[in-house]
Amino acid sequence: MKKIFSLLCCSVFVSSAQHASLLHPQETARQELLTTLSGEWVSRSLYVATKLGIADFLEEGPLSAVQLAEKSSSHPESLKRLLHLLSSHGIFEEISEGVFINTEASRLLIASHPNSLHSLAIFYGEDIHRSFDNLLGSVQTGTTTFELAFNQPVFSYFRSHPVNAALFQDAMKEKSRAVALSVLSAYDFSRFSQIYDIGGGVGQFLSAILTKSPHATGVLFELPEVIEKVKPMDRCSLTTGDFFTSVPTGGDVYLLKSILHDWDDAKAKEILRRCYEAMGPESKLLIIEVVLQPKSLSLFANAMDLLMLAVTGGKERTAASFTRLLQESGFELEAIYPTTTEFSILEAKKL
């Protein structure tokens, strides 16, 4: 009898594995839609696990949900169910009933990991999550979700909330690590002696470029409240200002990394025109941003486009949109260099 039951169970599991291919298209669509609808629960679980430091604890080795709950001041059964869900998505692995280990994905939640996304997961799970509760109102009115949630634009909010601003800067630094490596692999900076990073945050991206270009010097141009938090860097000057007003002159190459997507076309053209005014006839402009591709080739990029719409009022752009934007600002797009990340490098010169 046990043998028959075992065979029946095996038959059920085999059928389950083949189930998706046997479903009616309408039922397949229903299951895919339900999976998509549950995506928010997965992302919220990811935020909670990050906030509790679960990945850090698991670097000690396999731990049970009970042990993890004790370390994180959590309820054991509730934590076990949360980690079970994340494990089904490859974030942590449940090696036996209620016992978990890290995966390559969950290790990226460790704050000290060289490619950590710890701060990004918390930033998306707090201010961004709160703002997205207002997405319906944003789509109906054109006002950003962030303004609806916090009663002010995102960058004004950060100026008056230094703790949140620091988390944002840490999140952006985390994103920049992988992007910097991919950009340095895809583009040769050796021909430039003066490298200007316009709106370059706390300088992580420019620092990586200067490290690989020991003959070059750099200028980091940012708002005063950002520059005051920047640690001194070798061969790099720190300059304050507003890229809507003016940009420093004298650069061989001007970098705009993750800048234009924060703004609509009118504001983006203002930034480009200030760069145009500062650049010499032989200077290059490098825009490091997502370039939208058709449909399924841009799943994460399309999500980023909605994020820009919701939070800053900006947008991600196609190659055609960038070409038009540059031409209307006095530039010619010369080349697009893809990288191993979602970002590309758009190289432009003055017309």
Catalytically active residues, by annotation: 261
Cα 93 from Cα 259, distance rounded (Å): 37
**Residue with tokens 């692995």, as numbered in its chain:** 93
Question: CA–CA separation, 29 vs 234, rounded Å?
Answer: 55
Nearest alpha-carbon partner for 176 in 144, 215, 217, 220: 220
DSSP state of 49: H
Tokens standing for residue 89: 């998505």
CA-based angle 314:320:321, to the nearest 5?
20
Alpha-carbon span 209 to 233, nearest angstrom: 12
Strand ranges (DSSP E) for the chain? 63-64, 93-96, 99-101, 194-198, 217-222, 236-240, 253-257, 284-292, 317-318, 331-338, 343-350
User: Beta strands 194-198 and 253-257: pairing type?
Assistant: parallel
Which residue, chain included where needed, has tokens 């010169």? Answer: 349
CA separation for the pair 308, 312 (Å, rounded): 5
Amino acid making up residue 127:
D
Q: Take residue 345 and report the two structure tokens written for it.
A: 């490098």
Q: Name residues whose C-beta falls within 8 Å of residue 32's C-beta, 6 or more positions apart in sequence.
A: none
End-to-end CA distance of the chain: 83
Please count the other Cβ atoms lying within 10 Å of the Cβ belonging to residue 75: 12
145's tokens: 């979700």
